[in-house]
C-alpha cells in the first residue's frame, strides 16, 4: 500500500539520482568500494573551509555507512580513496563571482575531486555524498566522471524571520539543506511590520521594542554567517524600508512620516506606517544603523526591501506634500526613488551595494544595484536591458503553496527575458525562492520549504534543458529522504503534529491518510478562511498537511493512464483501490473528529472526500464499461466537485481535479 508518498521506493546512490543534475555527467565502469579504509586527503587548499568541509563529509559518510573513517594519514595509513584538490588561492568571502565549478571522477581505484576554488569543492562533496549507497558487498559509489558548474551564480532562499521568528538552529539545519541542494544565498528577511529581529547596539530600542524579545543577538548573527560561509552560502540581510517598518517605529516613532505612537503589528497584510523621506535626521539614523549592519554582515550586498509602499502615510503628511512641491515631484514613486537614492549613497559610503524589490527600479539609481523581481518577469528583463543586474522571485514564492512542478517550470531567462542578448542575459544573476512566514512557524517551516525548494535549486543550478518534471519528482523523493539524515524535519515533523491533533499516539491511520491527500489552500486564501494574526497557533491539519500531496499526484497519473486505456484492468484497479480507501476513511475518522476539538473542523472535509470518492468510483465503473452516464447521474453527483471557496479548515482535496476528469469522462462517454 503506497498511501503516503510516491509509489516507487527511492533508491540511493545512482548516477541518475543526482539533484541538481550536473552540467556534464558520464557513467564509468566499476565502482568505488567504501569501507573502513576509505580516507579523504585534502591537497593544498588555501581555504580552511575545505578542511572543515572534509571533516563534516567524513562525519556524514560515517553516519550513512556506519563505518569509521579518517581524514589524516597520521591516523590511518591507507592511501586516500578521495583526493581533494583546489586552487591554492587565499580564502575569500564568497561573492556571486566565485567559481563554484568542480570535477569529480570516481573509479575502482579512488576518486578525485578538483576545483579552482574552495566553493567548488563544497559543491562536489555534496555530489559525492549523493552517490554513496549500500551495495551487496558493502558501501559503494558508482564509477562516474562529472564536470559541473552552476547555470546561475545567485541561487537563494529568502527566509522571513520577521513574521515568525525562526530560532538559530532551524536556520542552521536549513543551511545544511541548502548546501546539499547547492543553493548559495540566504536572504535573511530580518525586519518587517511584525518584528525587528536583529540586535542593534546603536539603536537598541529597535530590537527591544520591536521584537517581543525574539531577535538574533549580534553574536548569533555572526555564528549563522560563519555557519553559512563554511557551506559556501552568502548571507544577505534585508532591512525592509521605507514601508514594512511598523516594528522599527515601535521604538523610534520619530522616524515615521506621521506621528505615533506605534506598536508591533499583529495582523498580516500591507500597512500604512512609513518612514519619513523628507528629514535629514531620518537619513542620519539610517546611516548609523546601516553602518552598524554593514560591519556585522560581511556580504557585499544589503537588501533594502522597498516593496509595497502604499503611500497613505505620505499622502496624509503635510511635510511630504511640501517636500513634493519643493522637489517638483508629483508621485509617491518619485519620492521613493529619492529615498532610495539617499539610501544607496549611505550604502556606498559603508562599502555596500544595494538589492531591492522591483519597485525600486528607477533610472536615477546606481547601475550596480540588484533588482529582485517579484511582480513578474518583466522588471528583470527591463533592468537587464538598462544595464542592471537582477534576480527572479516571481514564480518562486513557496508560500503560495504551489506544486514543485509550477516552480520547476519557471526559468529566469524565459518569457520577457527570452529576447535578451547574451550580454544582457548575463545580468540575470539567478533567483531566490521566497519563504514568507505569515503561515509558517518554526515547527512547520521545514515542511513548507522541502522538498519543493529543490525544484528552484535545480532550475538555478542545472542546464536549461533539464526540464523533465517527472524525472525531477523521482529524484526529489530520494533527495528528500536524505535531507532527513541532515536533521531536517520536513517528513518526521508530521507524526507529532497528527498525534497532537488527535490526542493519541500513534496517530490514527485514517488521519494520516486524509492528511496525505489534502493540501493547504493556495495563494493567500488561508487568511480569508478564518482570522489569523501573528499570535494564531499554526497547529491544525492545514499546518501538518504537506504543501503538495504526492499521493494526489500519483492518483492523477493513475487516472490519466486509466483514461488513456480504460480496458486495462490493472489501471482501473489502481484508481479503484485509492478511491475505495478514501470513501471509507470518513467512517474511521468520525470518532476522532467527534472527540478532538482541533479535528472537529475537518469533519466536513472528510465527508466531502467520501462523497467525492463515491462519485469517482461510480464514474470509474461507467468509463470502464465503455458506457455513458445518465444525465441525471451527473446532475445528482456534480455537486461533489464544488469545493467551498473559503473552507474553515483551509484545506483542499488535492485529488479533486483528477476525480473531476473521471466524472467528466463518464458524463461524456467514450
Ligand atoms: C513582496 O512579496 N512584498 C516582496
Query: Which residue out of 41, 55, 308, 588 is catalytically annotated?
Result: 308
d(CA 418, CA 415): 5
Residue 359 C-alpha to ligand 1 middle, in angstroms? 10
Q: What is the pLDDT of residue 4?
A: 39
Residue 307 C-alpha to ligand 1 middle, in angstroms? 6
Q: What is the pLDDT of residue 35?
A: 87
Atom of ligand 1 nearest to the CA of 436: 2
Q: What is the bridge-based pairing of β-strands 154-160 and 370-373?
A: unpaired
Kindly report the protein residue whose alpha carbon is nearest to atom 1 of ligand 1.
307
Residue 188 C-alpha to ligand 1 middle, in angstroms? 14
Biggest CA pair distance of the chain: 82
Q: What is the pLDDT of residue 67?
A: 83
- Own/partner long-range contacts of 413-422 (Cβ < 8 Å, ≥24 apart): 413/464, 414/377, 415/377, 415/378, 415/381, 416/376, 416/377, 416/378, 416/380, 416/381, 416/382, 417/377, 417/380, 417/381, 417/384, 419/381, 420/381, 420/384, 420/385
Q: pLDDT tens-digit profile of 33-87? A: 998 888 899 987 888 899 999 999 999 998 888 888 776 666 666 777 999 998 8
Residue 240 C-alpha to ligand 1 middle, in angstroms? 10
Quick one: which H or E segment has residue 104?
strand 102-107
> What secondary structure, in 3-state letters, does 287-318 show?
HHHHHHHHHHCCCCEEECCCCCCCCHHHHCCH
Query: In this structure, how many other beta carbons lie within 10 angstroms of the beta carbon of residue 322?
Result: 11
Residue 308 C-alpha to ligand 1 middle, in angstroms? 7
In which residue ranges of the chain is pLDDT below 50?
1-7
Task: Please give the full DSSP string across 513-551, using - where no structure is assigned.
Answer: HHHHHEEEPSTTTHHHHS--BTTS---SHHHHS-SS-HH
Contact 41, 587 (CB under 8 A): no
CB of 268 within 6 A of ligand 1: the answer is: no
Q: DSSP secondary-structure letter at 70?
A: B
Q: DSSP secondary-structure letter at 257?
A: S
What are the residues whose beta carbons fall under 8 Å from the beta carbon of 375, sequence distance 6 or more?
358, 394
Q: Where are the beta strands (DSSP E) in 136-241?
A: 138-148, 154-160, 185-192, 195-196, 234-239
> What secondary structure, in 3-state letters, does 451-508 show?
CCHHHHHHHHHCCCCCCCHHHHHHHHHHHHHHHHHCCCCCCCCHHHHHHHHHCCCCCC
* Best mutation site among 193, 310, 357 for ligand 1 pocket (most ligand atoms within 8 Å of CB): 357
Kindly report the protein residue whose alpha carbon is nearest to atom 2 of ligand 1.
374
Asked if omega into 261 is within 30° of 0 (cis), the reply is: yes
What are phi and psi for residue 177, nearest 5 degrees? -65, -45
CB of 172 within 6 A of ligand 1: the answer is: no
Contact 575, 662 (CB under 8 A): yes
**To which residue does cell 526613488 refer?**
337
Residue 305 C-alpha to ligand 1 middle, in angstroms? 8
Atom of ligand 1 nearest to the CA of 397: 2
Residue 520 C-alpha to ligand 1 middle, in angstroms? 21
CB of 357 within 6 A of ligand 1: the answer is: yes
d(CA 312, CA 463): 45
CB of 374 within 6 A of ligand 1: the answer is: yes
The cell for 462 is 542545472
Name which of 630, 628, 623, 629 is nearest 565 in CA terms. Answer: 623
* Best mutation site among 194, 374, 400 for ligand 1 pocket (most ligand atoms within 8 Å of CB): 374
Asked if omega into 451 is within 30° of 0 (cis), the reply is: yes
Atom of ligand 1 nearest to the CA of 372: 4
Q: What is the pLDDT of residue 194?
A: 98
Contact 247, 267 (CB under 8 A): no
CB of 307 within 6 A of ligand 1: the answer is: yes
Quick one: which H or E segment has residue 32?
strand 24-34
Identify whether 477 is a catalytic site residue.
no
Q: What is the pLDDT of residue 88?
A: 63
Q: Tell the burial category of 381 from Cβ atoms under 10 Å away from its Cβ (0-12, 13-18, 19+).
A: buried
d(CA 196, CA 203): 12
Contact 71, 40 (CB under 8 A): yes
Amino acid at each position: 500500500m503506497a498511501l503516503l508518498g510516491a509509489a516507487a521506493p527511492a533508491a540511493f546512490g545512482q548516477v541518475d539520482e543526482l539533484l541538481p543534475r550536473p552540467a556534464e555527467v558520464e557513467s564509468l565502469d566499476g565502482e568505488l568500494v567504501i569501507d573502513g579504509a576509505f580516507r579523504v586527503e585534502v591537497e593544498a587548499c588555501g581555504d580552511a573551509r575545505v578542511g572543515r568541509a572534509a571533516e563534516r563529509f567524513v562525519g556524514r559518510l560515517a553516519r550513512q555507512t556506519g563505518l569509521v573513517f579518517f581524514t589524516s594519514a597520521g591516523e590511518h595509513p591507507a592511501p586516500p580513496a578521495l583526493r581533494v584538490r583546489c586552487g591554492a588561492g587565499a580564502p575569500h568571502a564568497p561573492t556571486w563571482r566565485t567559481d563554484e565549478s568542480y570535477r569529480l571522477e570516481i573509479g575502482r581505484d579512488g576518486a578525485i575531486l578538483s576545483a579552482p576554488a574552495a566553493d567548488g569543492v563544497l559543491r562536489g562533496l555534496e555530489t559525492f555524498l549523493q552517490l554513496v549507497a549500500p551495495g551487496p558487498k558493502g558501501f559503494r559509489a558508482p564509477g562516474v566522471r562529472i564536470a559541473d558548474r552552476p547555470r546561475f551564480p545567485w541561487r537563494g532562499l529568502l527566509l522571513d524571520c520577521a513574521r515568525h521568528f525562526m530560532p538559530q538552529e532551524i536556520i542552521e539545519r536549513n543551511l545544511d539543506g541548502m548546501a546539499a541542494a547547492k543553493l548559495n544565498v540566504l536572504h535573511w528577511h530580518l525586519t518587517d511590520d511584525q518584528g525587528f529581529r536583529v540586535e542593534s547596539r546603536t539603536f537598541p530600542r529597535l530590537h527591544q521594542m520591536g521584537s517581543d524579545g525574539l531577535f538574533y543577538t549580534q553574536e548569533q548573527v555572526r555564528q549563522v554567517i560563519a555557519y553559512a560561509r563554511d557551506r559556501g552560502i552568502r548571507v544577505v540581510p534585508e532591512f525592509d524600508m521605507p514601508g514594512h517598518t511598523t516594528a522599527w517605529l515601535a521604538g523610534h516613532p520619530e522616524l515615521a512620516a506621521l506621528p505615533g505612537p506605534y506598536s508591533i503589528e499583529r495582523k498580516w497584510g500591507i500597512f500604512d506606517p512609513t518612514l519619513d523621506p523628507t528629514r535629514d535626521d531620518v537619513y542620519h539614523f539610517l546611516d548609523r544603523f546601516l553602518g552598524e549592519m554593514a560591519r556585522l554582515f560581511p556580504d557585499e550586498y544589503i537588501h533594502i526591501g522597498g516593496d509595497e509602499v502604499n503611500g497613505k502615510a505620505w499622502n496624509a503628511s503635510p511635510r511630504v506634500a511640501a517636500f513634493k512641491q519643493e522637489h517638483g515631484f508629483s508621485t509617491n514613486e518619485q519620492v521613493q526613488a529619492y529615498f532610495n537614492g539617499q539610501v544607496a549613497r549611505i550604502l556606498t559610503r559603508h562599502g555596500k551595494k544595494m538589492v531591492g524589490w522591483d519597485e525600486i527600479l528607477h533610472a536615477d539609481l546606481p547601475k550596480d544595484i540588484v533588482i529582485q523581481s517579484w511582480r513578474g518577469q518583466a522588471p528583470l528583463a527591463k533592468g537587464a536591458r538598462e544595464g542592471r543586474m537582477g534576480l527572479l522571485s516571481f514564480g518562486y514564492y513557496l508560500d503560495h503553496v504551489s506544486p514543485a512542478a509550477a516552480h520547476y517550470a519557471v526559468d529566469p531567462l524565459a518569457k520577457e527575458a527570452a529576447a535578451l542578448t547574451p550580454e544582457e542575459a548575463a545580468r540575470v544573476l539567478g533567483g531566490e525562492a521566497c519563504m514568507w512566514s505569515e503561515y509558517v512557524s518554526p515547527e512547520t517551516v521545514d515542511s513548507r520549504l522541502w522538498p519543493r525548494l529543490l525544484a528552484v535549486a535545480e532550475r538555478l543550478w542545472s542546464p536549461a534543458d533539464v526540464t523533465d518534471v517527472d524525472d525531477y519528482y523521482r529524484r526529489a523523493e530520494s533527495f528528500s529522504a536524505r535531507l532527513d539524515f541532515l536533521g531536517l524535519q520536513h517528513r518526521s515533523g508530521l507524526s507529532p503534529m497528527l498525534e497532537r491533533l488527535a490526542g493519541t499516539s500513534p496517530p490514527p491511520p485514517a488521519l494520516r491518510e486524509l492528511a496525505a491527500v489534502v493540501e493547504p489552500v493556495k495563494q493567500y486564501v488561508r487568511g480569508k478562511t478564518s482570522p489569523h494574526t501573528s499570535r494564531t497557533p499554526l497547529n491544525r491539519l492545514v499546518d501538518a498537511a504537506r504543501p503538495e500531496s504526492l499521493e494526489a499526484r500519483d492518483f492523477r497519473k493513475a487516472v490519466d493512464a486509466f483514461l488513456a486505456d480504460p480496458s486495462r484492468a490493472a489501471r482501473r484497479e489502481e484508481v479503484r483501490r485509492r478511491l475505495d480507501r478514501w470513501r471509507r476513511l470518513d467512517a474511521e475518522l468520525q470518532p476522532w473528529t467527534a472527540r478532538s476539538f482541533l479535528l472537529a473542523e475537518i469533519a466536513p472535509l472528510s465527508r466531502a472526500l467520501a462523497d467525492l470518492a463515491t462519485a469517482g468510483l461510480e464514474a470509474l465503473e461507467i468509463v470502464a464499461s465503455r458506457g455513458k452516464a445518465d444525465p441525471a447521474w451527473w446532475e445528482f453527483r456534480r455537486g461533489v466537485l464544488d469545493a467551498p471557496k473559503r473552507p474553515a479548515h483551509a484545506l483542499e482535496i488535492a485529488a479533486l481535479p483528477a476525480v473531476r476528469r473521471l466524472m467528466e469522462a463518464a458524463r461524456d462517454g467514450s
